[in-house]
Every structure is written in structure tokens, then in C-alpha cells.
Amino acid sequence: MTVPFEKYDGAGNDFVVVDAETASIEDRAAFARAHCDRETGVTDGSGGRRGADGVLFLSLADDGDPARVTMTLVQPDGSVAEMCGNGARCVAAWAAARSAGSRVAIDTPAGSRRAVVDDGSVAVEMGTPTFDPEAVPLAGDAPLIDATLDELAGTASAGLSVTAVNTGVPHAVVFVGDVDAVQIDAVAPPIRHADAFPEGANVTFASPAADGFRQRTYERGVEGETRACGTGAVAVAAAARRLGRLPDAADGGGSPCPRRVATSASPSPTTARRGCAGPLQSASRERSPRGASRELRPHRVPRGRGQGGLDERRGGRARPAARRAPEGRPRPPRRRCRERPCQSGGWQPPPRAQHPPRHRLAARRVRARRRHRSRPGACDAKGPLAALVGAFLAAEIEQGTLTLAVTPDEELLSTGAHALMTGEVAPGGPGEAGASVDPLPAADPAPDAYVVGEPTGLDVCTAARGRFEGTVSIEGTAAHAASPESGVNAVSAAGRALDALESFDNVAAHSQLGEATLVPTAIEGGESTNQVPAGCTITVDRRSVPPETAAGFRRALEAQLRRSVGADPSVSVSLTARETPFLEAFATDPGEPVVDALADAAAAAGDAAGFGQRGAVRPFGAATEASYFAPTPTVVFGPGHLADEAGAVAHAEREYVDIPSVRAAATALRKSTERLLGGDSPLSN
Ligand SMILES: N[C@H](CCC[C@H](N)C(=O)O)C(=O)O
């Protein structure tokens, strides 16, 4: 049998291209193994390279704009790759040459990708890179960010720092001083086959260059180095951004990192920029070596100009902000407890707060008018912050470390908490351009517990639902409404999709949080009243319960919708992109010492202040960043209420907090801290 083929080259990645509509090949893996071989494989007779980096089997749908093509890349070892950046560019050029328009929709196993072919140059939408361990995929349940793998000890790749990212396919990105000096055939295979990557990984080395990075990739499926790799280029950009290795933005601000990254027609290095603004501060208290001093100091601050206690003369490290007098006790073993209230836009005194004379405070409330949606007021979360600061300053601790961290942007993207926990300053996050911070969990020893400040009415909240927003995209084929059979109606298919959303049942009811919910909140489709609509999107709001993650939800929903809607039209689900992790569901075991200690102390303080029964252990009713700190035991606690008998309080014009409840919260936090960091601490280490 003779199989017609073409040979395409994308930035150095070369592919055999076979039109799957005209050539039917039974064993695609055997075909690819035979014809991609660099010694004995195909040649196009023009003196070019023998063999290929893979075979692209392509099916072009009948006319449409954009042209729609299904791409299957079978690699030299017979495996199928979910995505290939340079392959996709070749596919776009191939499809555009066979259709009228310049726009192409490429269906890959990793999802649908749009491409534009313009005068010989091809730009392909590359999707959103993810470090989510489930999506990479990784064997463990923590992201792999600039970390060494123990299992590489004794191999040629021992000690290399790896960052795992999925850009359609998994990549292990390794930054080195000089990519040209890397013995890639020796160094890459141990990483490519590491147990950490249950489905293997492409291994991409990168080193800084004048205008970006130089890159070399050892490809899974090729089992060798290729001359270029599009998903690898995106992986370098994503990892560089995550690790703060991108050059500063020229203007020192803004967020020029694109959400979507397109490979260009030339094999140029990848560059991207970022900028950040706003403070991130935290403070630690611990015994000095002689047990003598306590200090309040910025614990971690961004490198850069002197905001938030920075001192350039000290190489950008924090300078002490305040000290307290020596106490002269011996230093016991270190132990940490973290406290972290969040505040959008940095901490500010409550706008128009009233400060009556001290002796009259008990009967008065601080009222604050919200001037802007992103500036929460008195109870969300200035009251909780005041209580945490009060407790932090007053607590008598006998052992361990108590840290107060104040981070901005809780209401929107949680860039402050994200930086605190990962060391990564997301675009638009706190600090200067190119900032980095010391991640809190890297402290030695790691934290035992976190208390997140929120208005809980002095109750101890141990769980909360997560919140994700996603878009269901249905893509059919447009046709004249007079002959509907010649099209594929995306709006009709949306009916089947809505039914499937009703019955979506991915996760069992949670003991503390009950059922997850899934609500379609917006729907859009069709362009003209006499046309079979080709596209329809449904926006969905998911309130999740453990153990569901955002990535798991997306995958499960897409699978269910594909089952319900069928193959044509195509259905995909994407999560609304954000620069920081989603606020996922969290649940702390109510038996944890931090829960007990705070519940007892809150009950006593509430009682003493005449508030009646307080300190109940219950779920929190609003979104919270607590999942950023979990699975370390985390509780949400503070004075004030999200709503009272007269209606909404938090985020409302009438937002207020009772000063006596701020005092009671501070007392509860102080007493519970003293119990947790006292001589008879119930903490285990
Ligand atoms: N070998 C890769 C896929 C090809 C990626 C590459 N050629 C690109 O340009 O993105 C894998 O199995 O994951």
C-alpha cells in the first residue's frame, strides 16, 4: 500500500504529515516506528533529514471558518502525545492551505487550540500552563517547584533542581548556567523516567540569554533531544515566571505576562516580563538564643525598593521594625504557630472610624463605609486583624515561634497569601517587580497550625467549600437554518449539557460541608437568527467540598459532558484563568489541638464578655484562603459577622464590628496561643 505523506518542519521539529481521511493506516504505532527512524525512515527525496520527530495524522472537517482539524501525533516510539506546539503550527499551516480562511481550530487530546496563519507565520494558542500535581501529572500531591528529587541520587542528574509543569504535555524544567554544556543524553533520561512522573516527562533545560532563555529539550516519545519544542518553550516561560527568573518589566509595573502563550514562527527564545506593586509583611516572635528577647520584625519582604521595612544596604533583607525588652529565660525547642489575617489592598485604618474616649468604648461600634468592593471594612477583616495583632503582642509564649503575617489581596486573587506560601509573587501581587519572598512553609520546623482572620462571630471554623468558575464550550458547525441537517447545532447540544450539569455528581457529601453545588450562571450562543449556531458557552459556578480539586472537577465535568453530548459537537471545559490557585475546599480535623485550644478559649472569652455561647466548631460560610494553608491544621476565626438579623454586614454599607468582640477575640487568641506554645503544649513535635 502506498501512503501519500508530506513532510513539515516547525522551528526544527519535523513531522511526517498524513491525511487520515484519505489514508487508512491500521497500526499507526508501527507506521510511526518504521518511518520516523533517523537511519531507515522516510525521506522526501529533497535531501532533507531522514525520519521525523513524529507522524501527524490529520482529519480536516468539511468547510468551516475556522477550519477544524483533528490532530493525532504518534511519536517515534509509537506513543500518542496529547499536544505538540510545533506540530500544531505545522497542522495549522497544513489545514489553512486546504481551506479558505486563515483561522484554524485544532482538536488535540489536550483540548482544542486556536491558530492563525498569517502570511507564512503561524501563531498557536498554547493553553494555560499548570503546576497542579494532578494535572502534570506527578506521583505526589505537592507541586514540584525548583526542587531536587531524592530518587535522582547516584544518577547523572543528581542535585538538579526540577520544576514540573504541564503545557499540554508534562515538562520537567531545569535551569542551568549554560544549556550547551549539558550532556543531555546522560542527564535527561533519569528525570524523564523518574517515579515522580508517573506518565514520564519531557526534560527541558534552559539558561539565561541576552533577550530571554536558551532551551534544549529531551522529548518523551522521541527518547532523544529534538531541535525545538514548542510546549517546552512555554514550559520555560511558565517556570521562569513561577521562579521569579523573568527580567523585570521595563516600566516596573503592570502584568505583561500573557495568560496564553503562543509559539512564534521563528525558533526565538522565550521572553516574558512581569511587574508587581503593594506591600507584603509578616512578623515573627520567638525566643532569642538566650531566651532573652522578643522581637517584632518583618519576617519576609520582597526584594526591591524600601517598602515594608526593606533596607537596601542590607541586601534587601528586612530590618527590625520594633523590639521588646529582654526577659532572660533559656531558649526552649523551637515550635511555630502562624497567624495570618488578610486585607485587600494593604492594611489601612478603617475609613471614617470613630474612636470614642476609652471608657466609653464598650457600648460603641466602629463603623466603616466600604468605599470600593475590594476594600473590605470593619469586620472583614480589620476587626480580626486587630484581634490577631493584639494577641500577637500580648501572648506569653514559653516555647516555639509565633508568626504574624499580614498579606494583601485576600478578596480578589490572594496574591499575598500565595506569595507567603510559595515564595512566588504572582503578576499584580505584592512587592516590587522581580520580587521573591521566603515561603513560610519552608521554615524549620514547619508550622504546626494556621489561624486565618475572618469574621466568624468568635466561632472556630474548621472547613469551607471551595469556589471555582468554569466555562463549558460547545463547538458545532454553522449552517443555514433552512437546512439544519447540514450543520451541528451547538445551542441544541447545550440542552443536553444542562441536563448533564443537573445530574453531575462527582464527589460524596462531606461530613462538615454537605453537598457540593454546581450552578449554570450564564449562557451565550448563536450569532444570527437564521443560522444553525456553531458555538455555545455555559458559565458554571462550582462550590466544592473535599477532596475535590479544581483540576479534578474540570476533568470529571468534561468527561461527563462528553458522554452526555456525544462526539459532535465537541465539548470542553476550562476553568477561569487566574494567576494564583483557586480557593479550594478545606477541612481540618476538629480533633486538632489548635481547634480545641481556640474553641475553649473563645467560649470562655465570649462568656466573660457577655456574648453567651461562643466558640462553636463549624464550617465557614464564605470563601476563604484557608485552603492555601491546608493540609496543615488551619482554622478561620475572628470577631464580627458576615451577616446579622438585619441583613448583610461584611461587604455592606453598614459593615461594623463590636469592639468588645474584638477584645474577646484577642483574648481567645492570646489564651489559645499560650496554651499551644506553653510548657504543656498539646502540639506533637
Ligand atoms: N514529545 C512530547 C510531545 C511533543 C512536544 C514537542 N515536540 C512540541 O513542540 O511541543 C510528549 O510526548 O510529551
- Residues recognised as catalytic: 84, 229
Residues 381-393, mean pLDDT to the nearest whole number: 93
Backbone angles phi, psi at 557, to 5 degrees: -65, -40
Residue 321 has pLDDT above 70, yes or no: no
- The hierarchical CATH code for the domain 466-575 is 3.30.70.360
Q: Which atom of ligand 1 is nearest to the CA of 83?
A: 3
pLDDT in tens, 184-199: 999 999 999 999 999 9
Q: What is the pLDDT of residues 432-451, one digit of tens each?
A: 655 667 777 776 677 899 99
Contact 607, 354 (CB under 8 A): no
Alpha-carbon Rg for the chain in angstroms: 28
C-alpha cell belonging to residue 83: 499536544
The residues, any chain, with a CB within 8 Å of residue 95's CB and separated by 6 or more, are 58, 60, 67, 69, 104, 106
Topology of domain 281-322+331-463+585-676 in CATH is: Aminopeptidase (3.40.630)
Q: Model ipTM?
A: 0.96
Q: Is 456 annotated as a binding residue?
A: no
Q: Which set of grid coordinates corresponds to residue 659?
A: 469592639
Q: Residue 595 has which C-alpha cell?
A: 481547634
Contacts of residue 228, defined as CB under 8 A and 6 or more positions apart, other chains included, come to 10, 11, 12, 13, 86, 217, 267
Strand, coil or helix: what is 109? coil
Q: Are 166 and 129 in contact (CB under 8 A)?
A: yes
Is the separation of the CB atoms in 379 and 367 below 8 Å?
no
**Helix H or strand E encompassing 475:** strand 466-475
Q: Do domains 150-263 and 281-322+331-463+585-676 have the same CATH topology?
A: no
- Report the length, in residues, of the chain: 685
Over residues 134-162, mean pLDDT: 93
What's the rounded mean pLDDT across residues 198-207?
96
DSSP code for 626: H
Whether 169 is in the pocket of ligand 1, judged by its Cβ within 6 Å, is yes
pLDDT confidence bin for 682, thresholds 50/70/90: confident
Mean pLDDT for the stretch of residues 208-227: 93
Q: Which CATH number fits domain 6-120: 3.30.565.10, 3.10.310.10, 3.40.630.30, 3.10.450.50?
A: 3.10.310.10
Phi-psi region of 69 (alpha: psi -120 to 50; beta: other; left: phi over 0): beta
**Could you tell me if the CB of 192 is within 6 A of ligand 1?**
no
Helix (H, G, I), strand (E, B) or coil at 15: strand
462 is in an annotated binding site: no
Q: Between 277 and 184, name the one with better pLDDT.
A: 184
Structural domain boundaries of the chain?
6-120, 150-263, 281-322+331-463+585-676, 466-575
Atom of ligand 1 nearest to the CA of 263: 9
CA distances 682 to 338, 594, 595, 636, Å, are 16, 9, 11, 20
For ligand 1, whether the C-beta of 90 sits within 6 Å is: no
Q: Report the alpha-carbon distance of residue 206 to residue 482 in Å, rounded.
A: 56
Query: For a pLDDT cut of 70, what percent of the chain falls above it?
Result: 79
CATH of domain 150-263: 3.10.310.10
Does the C-beta of 108 come closer than 6 Å to ligand 1? Answer: no
Ligand 1 atom closest to Cα of 86? Answer: 9
- pLDDT averaged over the chain? 79
pLDDT category at 431 given cuts 50, 70, 90 is: low
334/326 Cα distance (integer angstroms): 18
State pLDDT tens for residues 620-668.
988 899 999 988 999 999 999 998 888 888 888 888 998 999 999 999 9
